[in-house]
Structures are given as structure tokens and as C-alpha cells.
Structure 1
Amino acid sequence: MLNSFDVFSINSEVEFNSLSIQIFKYQYTNNPIYRKFVDLLSLNYKEIDNYKKIPFLPIEFFKTNKVVDDNFSPAFYFQSSGTTSENISKHYIVNENIYKKSILESFSLFFGDPSEYIYLGLLPSYLERNNSSLIYMVNHLMEQSKKEENGYYLHNFDDLYLVLNRLESEGKKVILFGVSYALLDFAKSYPLHLNHTLIIETGGMKGRKKEITKDELLSELKYAFHTKKIFSEYSMTELLSQAYSLSNNFYRCPPWMKILIRDVDDPFEYVENHRTGGVNIIDLANIHSCSFISTQDLGKTLENECFQILGRMDNSDIRGCSLLLL
């Protein structure tokens, strides 16, 4: 019997491959949308024995289909940002405890005990809509810390500036989650010296600013806040896991998540390290939806299982957390 929480105990490539195959066969059997997609490829699912042979569902399917385990009734759904109803993805959630576990396990791996931090959110585009997986994630981290200073800031930069100044003077450990364009606006008007605050940018210019490279964004934020590092989070509505960059746009995944880079001319072939291609994501926590997703992001893998996100493919939609700068 497949246990949904087994994925959080993975500690080797062999275990990752074994669970990937088990979850693939489970999802083929129990997720009708994914099964139809695999069948259209004329593959014998029983013969697949390595995660690199598993078919990756195009992320666009989440816009037009209910991609979910047929054995359960979803408790709720997460919804992506979008300008029209046609380009909004919905990710139906069967067991929110899996997402909560994924949030805490991944965060702890990269930043330590979540209860030690005060969490501030500068996430206007996410606060202004319902069913955001990012807001759910930050809320859950706030619940772990139970700090009275936890809070969100929409457009009230004055209040955020005063709070950060006070917390800095008190030497408090703070994490500021911010969408890229809002962080840039805040940095321009309220430069600070941050010694105790970690900034985690979540991507997303949302068409509101001139596009700049990821390196330019990080450089501007480091200069404005007089800090050596700006951290980043990489996830999206259709996932239940997060990868983090601790410096210089080099991301790492938790053990139950993996990035593969496909050839842009042949989606069934993968390219070697340092070559740019389309990003495929394995998220084994996403067991009751689809764990194998082909995105419209461009990236490349590096040594030591690091990866970079370089932008978006041409003609792909602007999306929430997954939009990084071109």
C-alpha cells in the first residue's frame, strides 16, 4: 500500500526512483486525465522502470482539466493568477496535511526551525486574489512561529519600513517574503541596512515593470538592503513542494523533488548539465494530483543537483510564482 508520507523519508537516488515508479503507476491507474495522456503516447506503463522514462504532463492541462486522484473528493483547490478565466490553473487538493508537511520539511532543510522566525509578507498580487498556494504556505509558517509581529503588507510601505527598522534594532530573526516588483518598489523608496532579516523573493514582475534579468534583480535588492544574499523560492500552483535558492540564483530541491531539463526540440530527450532547455518537475508530494509536470520555464541543471531558472518560453502565459525574470 502506497503511503503518501513515505516521500518525506527519501534519502537516496534508489529510493527516489523506486517511489517515482510506484507513484507513476498509482497515478496512471487512478488519475483519469493523466492516464489518457499517457495512453495517447502509446506507452506500456508497466515497462517504465526509471523516472526519466516517465511521461510528463504539460502544465497547461491544469487550465482545462481536473487533474486529481479519482478515489477522493478534493477538499479545496489552489488557483493561479491570470488575466482571464482561460489562463487560470486549478490544483485540486485531496489532503492538505501533505502540503503542510512538505512546506515545513523543505523550509527546515534550508532555513532551520520555522518557529524561530518572524514572517512578513509583501505579496500584494497574491493577497488580492483567493486560493493562493503561496499565501497558504506563508500562513502555515506564521502558524508555526506564533509571533505577534507576523503580518502582511499590501501597499503600506511606511508601516513595513517602521516594522523592519524596529525588528532590526531588536535583533529579531525575520523573513520577508516578497514578490519581485513589490520588493523593487519598496527598495527604491525605503533602502535599509538588513542584518537580521532574510529576504525571500518569490518571482513575478506580473507585467508591471520593465523586465530585467534575475541577476540584475538580485543585485539591485542586495545593494538597496545592504545585504550579501537575497534568497529565492521556486514553486507554482500545480505543485506541493518548493525549491529554494540560497544565493546567486542557484536552486536546490528537497529530496522528494527533482528538476530535469528536456530538449526544446524533443520533449522525450534530456540535455546534459549547463545546457538550456525546458523544465520538467518531479514532485512526489503531489501524489493525489500529478507528480510529473512539464512546465514552460527555461532552465539548466548544474553540478551537485543545483539548477537555475532562466526565464519563460516564447508565447507562454505569465504565471504566478513560476514567473522569473527574462
Structure 2
Amino acid sequence: MTIAEIEAQFTGLNRGDSSFAEIEQVLETYQRTYCEVYRRFGEKHLPVSAFKHAEIATFPVSEAECVFVSSATGSGLRSRHFVRRLAVYDASVCAAFEAVFGKGPYTIWAHLPGYSTESSLVCMLKILIQRYGDERSQFFLASEPPGNLDATSPLVLFGAAFGLLSLSEAGPWQLPQNARIVETGGMKTHQRDITRRELHARLAEGFGIQEEHVWSEYGMCELLSQAYAQGGPVYVPPPWMHVRVVDPHNPKQILSDGQPGLIAVTDLANIHTVSSILTEDLGVSHGEGFEVLGRFPGSALRGCNFLLESA
């Protein structure tokens, strides 16, 4: 299978499809050949922090059609994801959305105060609004929802966790009962400490909807695919994205369901960077899904020192 064929076909995989392993191996070989950092690191899952310290790409980064930049962390360093083909990201975003929401149309509202135009989340929502949104779909920064809350199309409100919480506290508001709220995380950057369960309860109360209509999206600058959790804590990745929970001290060891460890992702949409990424998120597996428990304490993984020294 060629790289061009993978670009065209990866979103057509079915869950459990045996061709996942074939594509995974083709991409790993390609990425080790052309991405020097990945080749020198040696292990399968590249620590996500590599995107902060090096140019992770299989091609000259000047040829990137887009560069996603993460929000600043305590270190002040930002990850950069060099996207060779935006059409690949578009395909991944749309196929994952359609699998959960259908083809729409929807009234899509995006509340992302403080987010840069270089954010992958901003790009994702631009794609969704353009592809699935009706004429009332929009980004908004105000401390109240835009316009009449009686949307003619089903309403989907996307936003970072504490932005949505602040918006809900400026109310209360009464969204239509068929509305969905999709929080995209971001709790780790805020001073207040809150569990996801408490967050969802407060969002449901503040927006006047049932708690099971508060959903979650898992994504990051370093990945081109997203997983959704529909009214509970368990995210289900799309078929071209495999998520494993591994031992933090030995990432080669995959842990059983219910055992907490580091979330390791293989994202076949990461064709021209590195597909297999070791995140800094603590989680547990639940069958074909996974739950995020928070950040791994310290978020300083073994292997990163080697990466910095060798790359």
C-alpha cells in the first residue's frame, strides 16, 4: 500500500479491520525512514513533548500547508504540528464527526475565547461549520450565547471546559432540549480544580439540558484525529485511531482494562509526522474505548531526555 493510497483510504477502515496493522507498519517504516527524530528515538511511541522541541516531519517543513500550534504550557514551549496536506485533516475531522452526529445540518456554535487562529481546534470547528453548519453557525466570544436560543437545526455548542463553565455561570440559559454541548477539555490550564463529572453536571444545570447531552471531545495539536464521549466518561476513537493504556515506566507493556496508565495513541491520519504518540494523559481502557483520568504527575516521561540529547 502506498502513502497516496493511505491518504485516500484511511477513513474507510472499519473497527477491527485487519488492514489497520498493515497501514500502521507501512507508516512506521515511512516515518522512520524520513523523520530523523523518530528514527533516532527508536521506540514505537514518540513522546508527545517531541513536538515542542523538534520539527517532527517526513518532509521539508517549508512545504507544510498549515502549522498547528498548541496553547502555551507552564514551560512556555508550544508544540508545532506541520500538516503536509490539509485534505487529510479535513477527511479525518469530517468522518469522525459524521460517525457520531450524522450529516446535519446543525447550528454549530464555537466558544473559544483566548484560542489562537493557529489552534487545531479552531481549524477543526471552521471545517465543521463550513461542512455541517447552517446559516446561524458561528464562533462567538461574548459572555452569552448568540441570538435566539430556539435554533431551527439541532444545536451543537463546542467549547473548552472552563470557557463553557464561565459562560454557563453568566446565565442560567435555556438551550433547546435536543441541544448537545461538546467540551473539548482544557481543564489542566485553569486554576480551579474540578472533575469532569462535576463539570458536566454544572454545564447541564447552567444551560438547562440533561446531563447526558453534555459530551466530550478528545484531541490535541499533535494528533489529526479526534475521539468523542457521548454522555459519559468513555471516549470511543474512530477505526483509524487505536488507543492503548501502557505502563508509564515501560511503555511497551499494554495494561488491562481498568488499570491506570499512560494513554498511547496510534493515529493513522498522522501520515507525514509520527503516527504513534505517547501522551502525557493518565487513563484507563474500557474495551474499545478509554477514559481520561487527568495529567500524568509531572508529565516528564523517560525517553524525553534521550530525545532532547539526540535530536
* Structure 1: gaps spanning 5 or more residues: 42-54, 318-326
Deviation (angstroms), 1:29: 1.3
Aligned residues: 292
Tell me which residue corresponds to 2:303.
Answer: none
Aligned with residue 239 of structure 1, among 210, 223, 228: 223
* Contact 2:160/2:185 (8 A) holds in 1: yes
Secondary structure of 1:113's aligned partner: coil
CA distance in 2, matches of 1:83, 1:56: 22
Deviation string 1:2-28 (CA, Å, 9 cap, x unpaired) is 322221121234111111111111111
CA distance in 2, matches of 1:207, 1:102: 27
CA distance in 2, matches of 1:219, 1:209: 19
* Contact 2:65/2:85 (8 A) holds in 1: yes
Matched, 1:157 2:140: no
Aligned with residue 183 of structure 2, among 190, 196, 201: 201
* Contact 1:171/1:196 (8 A) holds in 2: no
TM-score of the aligned structures, taking structure 2 as reference length: 0.89
Tell me which residue corresponds to 1:183.
Answer: 164
Are residues 265 and 250 of structure 1, via their aligned partners in 2, closer, same or farther at CA, if it must alter by over 3 Å? same
Are residues 226 and 84 of structure 1, via their aligned partners in 2, closer, same or farther at CA, if it must alter by over 3 Å? closer
Matched, 1:34 2:38: yes
Are residues 94 and 189 of structure 1, via their aligned partners in 2, closer, same or farther at CA, if it must alter by over 3 Å? same
Aligned with residue 112 of structure 2, among 100, 106, 123: 123
Deviation string 1:164-204 (CA, Å, 9 cap, x unpaired) is xx242x54311111111111111112123331321100111
* Contact 2:179/2:209 (8 A) holds in 1: no
Q: Identity of paired residues, percent?
A: 32
Which one-letter code corresponds to 1:31 in the other structure? Answer: C
* Contact 1:181/1:209 (8 A) holds in 2: no
* Contact 1:63/1:86 (8 A) holds in 2: no
Tell me which residue corresponds to 1:98.
Answer: 88
Aligned with residue 14 of structure 1, among 12, 15, 18: 18
Mean CA deviation greater in 227-236 or 10-19: 10-19
* Contact 1:32/1:70 (8 A) holds in 2: no
CA distance in 2, matches of 1:184, 1:209: 13
Aligned with residue 214 of structure 1, among 191, 196, 201: 196
Which one-letter code corresponds to 1:60 in the other structure? Answer: S
Secondary structure of 1:287's aligned partner: coil
CA distance in 2, matches of 1:234, 1:84: 21
Which one-letter code corresponds to 1:187 in the other structure? Answer: S
Aligned with residue 54 of structure 2, among 65, 72, 92: 65
Which one-letter code corresponds to 2:80 in the other structure? Answer: K
Aligned with residue 251 of structure 1, among 220, 231, 235: 235
Matched, 1:314 2:297: yes
Deviation (angstroms), 1:224: 2.2
CA distance in 2, matches of 1:146, 1:262: 38
CA distance in 2, matches of 1:5, 1:273: 33
* Contact 1:200/1:231 (8 A) holds in 2: yes
Matched, 1:192 2:173: yes
Secondary structure of 1:124's aligned partner: coil
CA distance in 1, matches of 2:289, 2:190: 30
C-alpha root-mean-square deviation of aligned residues, in Å? 1.8
* Contact 1:79/1:132 (8 A) holds in 2: yes
Tell me which residue corresponds to 1:45.
Answer: none
CA distance in 1, matches of 2:17, 2:284: 20
Are residues 86 and 182 of structure 1, via their aligned partners in 2, closer, same or farther at CA, if it must alter by over 3 Å? closer
CA distance in 1, matches of 2:232, 2:143: 26
Q: After the TM superposition, which segments of 4 or more aligned residues of structure 1 sit over 6 Å from their partners?
A: none
CA distance in 2, matches of 1:291, 1:237: 13
Aligned with residue 28 of structure 2, among 24, 27, 32: 24
* Contact 1:34/1:290 (8 A) holds in 2: yes
